[in-house]
Amino acid sequence: MRSLRILLLEPDPFQLMALHQMLNAMGIYDVLTAPSLGAAKRSLDRRGAVDIAICNPQLKSGEGLALIRHLAARQEAQALIMLGAVAPSLLADLDPVLGEGGVRLLGRLCTPVSAVLMRNLLDSYLSQPRCSVGS
């Protein structure tokens, strides 16, 4: 698989490790992992923009939604994969945020995440013409 830079926001250590290992098994090794919004922002500050961000927009602390807004406002991600069940009203609210920031919604994955479905979303990203991250 072509080199991708992925940011993974997941507060549960087990889920974070499982998703990271799943991505590694797919040949994706440039994975920025973050258990919190603060850690995600620090990773972005140090390492720069990512191709794809993966997070649950409905994290209890509101950090998933805050990260999505941050990524869109600063154009620090090309695409987004949402984890977990997402309320239709939240999707409607996020549409303009993503559109204004140029962030493409690749899809939603329920947990536990299927490696096959994750691979399908990553392949859909790779099959589209893209701009370079950070340009």
Domains of the chain: 5-126 (3.40.50.2300)
Question: For 1-135, where are the alpha helices, taking DSSP H only?
Answer: 13-25, 37-47, 63-74, 88-101, 115-126
Q: Is the pTM of this model over 0.75?
A: yes
pLDDT digits (tens, 9 = 90+) for 48-91: 999 999 999 988 889 999 999 999 999 999 999 999 988 888 88
- Stretch among 35-39, 74-78, 100-104, 130-134 having the lowest mean pLDDT: 130-134
CB 20 within 8 A of CB 8: yes
